[in-house]
Amino acid sequence: MGKTITIDPVTRIEGHSKITLKLDDAGHVSDARFHVTQFRGFEKFCEGRPFYEMPALMARICGICPVSHLVASAKACDAILAVKIPETAAMLRQVLNLAQMIQSHALSYFYLSSPDLLLGFDSDPAKRNIFGVLEKNPQDARDGVRLRRFGQQVIETLADKRIHPAWLVPGGVDQALTADKRDLILSWLPECYEIIGRTLERTKRSLEGFREEIRTFANFPSLFMGLTTADDKLEMTDGVLRIVDANGKVVVDNADPSTYRELIGEAVEPDSYLKSPYYKPSGYPGGMVRVGPLARMNVIDGIDTPRANEEWAEFRALERGAVLSSFYYHYARLIEILFGLEKMDQLLHNPGILSKQVRAHARPNNLEGIGVSEAPRGTLIHHYRIDENGLIVWANLIIATGFNNLAINRGVLQAARHYVSSQEIQEGMLNRIEAVVRSFDPCLSCSTHAVGTMPLVVELRDADGRLLDRKAR
């Protein structure tokens, strides 16, 4: 008789989800599904609001990556105003977005995943959290806290508020940067360079010990998508879209992000509130596209900061063509933190960064606007339509985690098939399945309160849905 194992909720991720594993009569995994169980409704309830309220309203989608939504939303509003924002405003937005990326990656790597990576997937679940890391590897835990704090402090210094700042506005930013604030941010950089340097070294040394996970954590061919600069370098805030295949061959290059609808379709599954975007020309579900740090490393031809570029070259040497295992998302995240620090350093040393010209003023000149940026988890798209009075009549958001939905589902199945081979539930094997999800760092809503507090409930049900066994931790 077939059975279903439910992992509900999935822990140490941002948001609420569950996993269902279906076992056949022989006890082998026949199917696995990743369900996102929360419903937000932002696209609908922003209808009727003035478009210029969108950045701050949309930032409320998330408490981890509000800046990503601010950036994409402000860019969509720039398109509605039909303005080119001042160069300084564009640079300041970049700094803010990089700060956000650094704090979010630090959260994912240190707070959420380092318990698995440092303490082991099979370690005591009661201690497999950031506090356990603090006990056993205090330096790593402190490093994580410091890096995350740095990102948050930069956001606060620039925008007055760590979470949900209202500094990004349609047309630019609402306040120029002062020399004092710039110097303060620059003074924090040396310590962060040291932290990321030693974390990268330790992580690279540890990869050998995760060969099985690397082989089985969503390791399969797919397309990869991300923004790049015009010369195909790593880009987080502006740029053009690029898509490469599993061999690293460029499929789409220099695509104007506002043409996303020609490239991206959106499918809806009955068992999840998360949409499943896909590469349109390949159809659904064949057009699986991964986004985020791993994808960005795969789509670019290099990084325009020296140390991150060296790390990128080493990373890409892991495999011929694209790097396929989602386990490497963790590694890619660290390279991006290094890039973020170096890029921020460059931007803050640009004499133009202190210019007072930081906002373009205009009335709406277009009835439609599309804003695309790279969130920590991947490509983020905000698309609005307004009426002639400037009120939103329609909105479409494609969130990075949505792009990864297909790959997460398939990755969960791959890991489940590898690790779950009997009807007996072992905690460590289920943790590995959760860890596949964690490697993508999905942001299903906006909270981190799950660290070490949310219970994992596993239920065993027969084919009729009857509860056979239940274990909670």
Partner 1 sequence: MSSRPSAKPAAPAPSSKVKTLTIDDRLVSAREDESILDAARDNGIQIPTLCNLDGLTPVGACRLCMVEVKGSSRLFASCVTMVGEGMEVVTDSERLQKYRKTIVELLFSERNHVCAVCVSNGHCELQNLAQTLGVTHLTVPYRNPKLPVDASHERFVNDHNRCVLCQRCVRVCGEVEGAHTWDINGRGIGARVITDLNQPWGSSETCTGCGKCVQVCPTGALTEKGKSVREMSKRTRFLPYLTMMREDRSE
Query: Judged by CB under 8 A, which of 36, 56, 76, 300 binds partner 1?
Result: 56
Cα 155 to Cα 72: distance, rounded to the nearest angstrom = 16
- Closest CB to partner 1 among 168 and 243? 168
- Closest CB to partner 1 among 2 and 50? 50
- Please answer whether residues 31 and 2 qualify as being in contact, where contact means their C-beta atoms are separated by less than 8 angstroms: no
- The yes or no reply on residue 96 touching partner 1 (CB under 8 A) is no
Radius of gyration of the chain (CA): 22
Query: Judged by CB under 8 A, which of 50, 63, 125, 197 binds partner 1?
Result: 50
| Tally of CA atoms within 13 A in the half-sphere of 129 that contains its CB | 15
Give me the least distance between CB of 79 and partner 1, in Å please. 15
- Closest CB to partner 1 among 70 and 437? 70
Query: Judged by CB under 8 A, which of 169, 372, 412, 420 binds partner 1?
Result: 169
- Closest CB to partner 1 among 145 and 360? 360
Spell out, one character per residue from 125 to 164, where the chain touches partner 1: x when CB under 8 A holds, - when not: ---------------------------------------x
For residue 253, give the 3-state DSSP assignment: strand
Closest CA to 325 of 410, 266, 419: 410
Q: Identify residues 390-449 at the interface with partner 1 (CB under 8 A).
A: 390-391
Closest CA to 57 of 77, 82, 83, 39: 77
Give me the least distance between CB of 390 and partner 1, in Å please. 5
Closest CA to 342 of 297, 310, 317, 315: 310
- The yes or no reply on residue 55 touching partner 1 (CB under 8 A) is yes
- The yes or no reply on residue 361 touching partner 1 (CB under 8 A) is yes
Q: What are phi and psi of 3, to 5 degrees?
A: -130, 160
- Closest CB to partner 1 among 146 and 164? 164
- The yes or no reply on residue 63 touching partner 1 (CB under 8 A) is no
Cα 95 to Cα 343: distance, rounded to the nearest angstrom = 8
- The yes or no reply on residue 363 touching partner 1 (CB under 8 A) is yes
Selected range binding partner 1 among 8-16, 42-50, 131-139, 265-273, rule: CB under 8 A: 42-50
Selected range binding partner 1 among 84-92, 97-105, 212-220, 384-392, rule: CB under 8 A: 384-392
Closest CA to 438 of 129, 66, 143: 129
Strand duo 276-279 + 289-290: pairing: unpaired
Selected range binding partner 1 among 30-38, 123-131, 295-303, 389-397, rule: CB under 8 A: 389-397
Cα 71 to Cα 97: distance, rounded to the nearest angstrom = 7
Spell out, one character per residue from 170 to 209, where the chain touches partner 1: x when CB under 8 A holds, - when not: x---x-----------------------------------
- The yes or no reply on residue 389 touching partner 1 (CB under 8 A) is yes
Cα 258 to Cα 369: distance, rounded to the nearest angstrom = 8
- Closest CB to partner 1 among 187 and 389? 389
- Closest CB to partner 1 among 360 and 425? 360
For residue 103, give the 3-state DSSP assignment: helix
- Please answer whether residues 437 and 450 qualify as being in contact, where contact means their C-beta atoms are separated by less than 8 angstroms: no
According to DSSP, residue 373 is labeled E
Q: Which neighbouring-strand residues pair with 255?
A: 241
Q: Which neighbouring-strand residues pair with 443?
A: 14
Query: Judged by CB under 8 A, which of 53, 232, 266, 301 binds partner 1?
Result: 53
| Tally of CA atoms within 13 A in the half-sphere of 419 that contains its CB | 28
Selected range binding partner 1 among 55-63, 201-209, 321-329, 374-382, rule: CB under 8 A: 55-63
Closest CA to 38 of 302, 272, 333: 272
Q: Tell me the site size for partner 1, rule CB under 8 A.
A: 19
Closest CA to 294 of 230, 345, 219, 204: 219
Give me the least distance between CB of 56 and partner 1, in Å please. 3
What residue ranges bind partner 1 (CB under 8 A)?
48-50, 52-53, 55-57, 60, 164, 166, 169-170, 174, 361, 363, 389-391
